[in-house]
Amino acid sequence: MPTIIYVMIFILLGIFLIYAWAVMPSMFRKNKRKPFMGHYYAHRGFHDNAGDAPENSIPAFKKAVEEGYGIELDVQLTKDEKVVVFHDNDLKRVCGVDAPVNSKTYDELTELCICSSGEKIPLFEDVLKTIDGKVPMIVEIKMVNAKTRVCELANELLLKYKGLYCVESFHPAAVRWFMKHRPELLRGQLSSNFAKDKGKKENLGEFAVHFLITDFFCRPDFVAYSCDHPDNLGFHMAKLFGALPVAWTVKSPEKLAEIEKKYKLFIFEGFRPEEVD
């Protein structure tokens, strides 16, 4: 066999081993996932954006608690550094205002309503009081850049909370912050095939998160991957090394039935998953 072929084999093997090391999750904390198992997680609460319990609202969280569902929610900062529960980086889709959330003070946000309801964007501390440890909670940390102030302020509130919770984020810097400052917490990396989701080429950061190359930076315990793209190479390898696979966001009984063997936990909306045959 020509020398060049041996060289190519060693190069490819080296690339594979480096990639395997990069996507490797935290491997020795499986006991921490047990309390979260056996629950379905209501995406932004058990919500109905056309009704009186819109996404990430107090009524949506109350309904999830009443139904016994775990809860997935999103936290980010206002201009005056209040931790609020809201998903989008801007207010346009949910509140009809073309402005970033972090450009408004909390008092300014209280003048807006969520979707077509009369509900207001809630403070994280008020949401924690509502959930009150009755169901497990997945807290997504929303970050538009690598500044981790939202991690610090959300954590101050979480330290006072007595219920069961874990954290996740699309931004590896947020996951790393909790690895360093709250190592006892279960933490997760959110990801997807961003090119297919957005219909355009991924930037470098999206590419790295898409293929979970950033796992070496934050060593997540679980990987929450889009239920529309379960066959990604990095996701398969992370599962092989023991990462807990979490599906987001399952929006129909048919999708749940399709992917139920590829994931262990499920974030859902728009139906009752326990009624799926």
User: Which residues participate in catalysis according to the annotation?
Assistant: 43, 87
For 166, the enclosing helix (H) or strand (E) is strand 165-169
The rounded distance, in Å, linking the Cα atoms of 11 and 25 is 24
With beta carbons less than 8 A apart as the criterion, state whether 121 and 110 touch. yes
DSSP letters spanning 37-48: TT-EEEETSS-B
* Cβ-contact 52, 119 below 8 angstroms: yes
What secondary structure letter does DSSP report for 53?
Answer: B
| Residues pairing with 141 in the sheet | 75
DSSP string, 83-148: EEE--SSBSHHHHS--SBGGGS-HHHHTTS-STTSS--PPBHHHHHHHHTTSS-EEEEEP-SSS--
